[in-house]
Structure 1
Amino acid sequence: MPALPADIEPRLLRAFVAVAEELHFTRAAARLYVAQQALSRDVRRLERELGAELFLRSTRQVTLTADGERLLPYARRVLAAQDELLAVFRQARPLLVDLNSPGLVTGRRVLHRARELAPDCELMARYESGLTGAAELILAGRLDVSFGRFAGLDPALRSGLSQQPLRYEPMAVILPEDHLLAALPEAPLPVSALAGETVYAGAGNPRTPEWTDLASRLFAEHGIRLAPPLPLAVGDEEFERIMGKNGHPILAVVDFPPLPRTVLRPLVDPVPLSPVSLVWRKGLAHPGLAALRRAATEISRAQGWLRRPAQGWLPGVDSEAMRAGA
């Protein structure tokens, strides 16, 4: 008896079942929308792989052999299971999209537009607060998409991810309302005004080292001190409490949601830029991802998010990463 194959292609079983039910090769071929020659070839191949004759053929009729009768109920069960599996996966699972933190405009706008473009997809928002933390979850299969500074990720993380550049977001500083710089007339604040200040930029937060690294590069060029690590605050209330207690200015982006008893001032001369990309796991195929990418392209073009200001500041590694992802 010949050795049985390790597996059998479902296509061959489907050909067998069609002929077994029709007992006619021409009708079975029409049912499967294939040529009769291709159908006959698949049946013969299945017979060779099983080492059994499945049909008795004559010029007048086709009948099942005893082996064919034995195979038929098993083949039907295998094909039913395959059809059930395919039906489940045709209904795309929810896509988990990290927006970093509630209130940030960039990711929220892209997600909202993607939901309009793909109303049948379930796009679920998550808030992981930092691309590094999100990237680890993406690679572990516990999250699908995030936003942030791709060049700031460890190369080992980047190697498993894809990106689509989305925005050069201008930075700002959040000042306690009683800070001397907050008393200046409402206007953009020159970066040089922060020289000698200690500014908080997430130092010590394991989920946001890409943001702290970007801040450190900016601060080193302008004589700004990086505030030491603080207790990791979870939730808006805790963040506001810790920041209020500490009293340091906070490096942020221009669309950062308002905090009580603070003022937000965009930074200029130069305009520091936070590069934002849409980031996902390599090889991910999902209609929701396609909608997110289309939404990102639409909004980025309409808002001019990838136009860099003439006085924009951006590290060379980020310029290179954004060009590579374009």
Structure 2
Amino acid sequence: MPAQQPLSAHLDPRLLRAFLAVAEELHFTRAAARLYVAQQALSRDIRRLERALGAELFVRTTRQVALTTDGERLLPYARRVLEAQDALLAVFARTREAQPRALLVDVNSPGLMSSRVLERARELAPDCELMARFESGLTGAAVELLAGRLDASFGRFAGLDPVVRARLEQQPVRYEPMAVVLPQDHHLAALDAVPLDALAGERVYAGAGNPGTLEWTDLARRLFEGRGIELAPPAPVAIGAEEFRRIMAKNRNPVLAVVDFPAMPESVLRPLVDPVPLSPVSLVWRKGLVHPGIDALRRAAVELAVEEGWLRRPEGGWVPAMDEKIMMRHS
């Protein structure tokens, strides 16, 4: 047990956040990933907190981490302190946003549905500066959201880690029909729409190996399961139409996409059918963020969803049960 020392009059909330992450994960590696810090730094912060409190908070073995009695005693206090700090910061954030800064909005890629929401929001709030950013995946964007380097994004909320979801807000926007991008001379390219069963035996690229698009790869894995469709192995992320053309010509793997995916050279986009797979898209932002730009994005998403029927599922449309539950709960 750490040597008994006088309790410090000042306790860094960062140490309590480190404690809370480990207490909830009961795993130092996962807790470090959650906080986006090195595991050594996290262990150091836990030792500092234990010294400051004069108590051992965790029992560590090579196989598991468990809370001690003192750790259990600290847990509810740590939660209350951090909730109070978050509430305080949110209040002063509202004051700062009286003259709002530019809102940074990730639309994934130009030309997608999210760009339409952004354009409508700009019309609804002409005095707000809404700046587009391009993160290419919600998993990657979530890191930037929680770090305060990004304010809003779009994507599959259910595909995020539950711990990350707990620190974000979301509003369902669309069940977006999925499609496949094919080399123009592929044997399925002549079809107006590609039945899912026709992809059996194919290796379809869905972002495998890209840490920023884990939610998309997970959606593909759920869709392909039991259908004889294989996830294509990791490939370099193609930035720009010419790089996409080059990688497609080299690997020739169909690419899982959505119906709004922009046209690419020497490729064709075909909707998937029988059933129609749906990508559940939400507007996502950081908890506690108050900004007129967020209000405009939310209103824009609702207006477009009503006008375009974005939240009406086609008969027989496929969506994972976990996504449906989240989308329905927040609709």
TM-score (norm 2): 0.70
Distance (Å, rounded) in 2 between the aligned partners of 1:180 and 1:248: 12
Alignment of 1:169-318 (within 5 A): 169-184=176-191, 187-318=192-323
Distance change in 2, residues 1:89/1:274 (3 Å): closer
Match of 2:151 in 1: 144
Matched, 1:103 2:108: no
1:44-64 Cα offsets, whole Å, 9 max, x none, are xxxxxxxxxxxxxxxxxxxxx
1:100-131 Cα offsets, whole Å, 9 max, x none, are 11221x11111001000000000000000000
Matched, 1:167 2:174: yes
Helix, strand or coil: the match of 1:278?
Answer: strand
Gaps of 5+ in 2: 1-92
Distance (Å, rounded) in 1 between the aligned partners of 2:115 and 2:121: 10
CA contact (8 A) 2:203 2:254 kept: yes
CA contact (8 A) 2:245 2:266 kept: no
- Which of 93, 101, 105 is residue 93 of structure 1 equivalent to? 101
Distance (Å, rounded) in 1 between the aligned partners of 2:282 and 2:94: 33
Distance (Å, rounded) in 2 between the aligned partners of 1:270 and 1:257: 23
Distance (Å, rounded) in 2 between the aligned partners of 1:142 and 1:86: 18
Match of 1:19 in 2: none
Q: State the shift of 1:261 in Å.
A: 0.7
Distance (Å, rounded) in 1 between the aligned partners of 2:302 and 2:212: 27
Match of 2:138 in 1: 131
| Paired letter, 1:211 | W
| Paired letter, 1:262 | S
Aligned length: 239
What's the % identity of the aligned pairs? 69
Q: Which entry has the higher C-alpha Rg, 1 or 2?
A: 1
1:228-270 Cα offsets, whole Å, 9 max, x none, are 0012333333233222211111110011000111111101110
Helix, strand or coil: the match of 2:226?
Answer: helix
Distance change in 2, residues 1:86/1:207 (3 Å): closer
Helix, strand or coil: the match of 1:299?
Answer: helix
Q: State the shift of 1:89 in Å.
A: 4.5
CA contact (8 A) 2:108 2:154 kept: yes
Helix, strand or coil: the match of 1:182?
Answer: coil
CA contact (8 A) 2:146 2:167 kept: yes
Q: State the shift of 1:189 in Å.
A: 1.4
Match of 1:119 in 2: 126
1:58-112 Cα offsets, whole Å, 9 max, x none, are xxxxxxxxxxxxxxxxxxxxxxxxxxx99975221000000011221x1111100
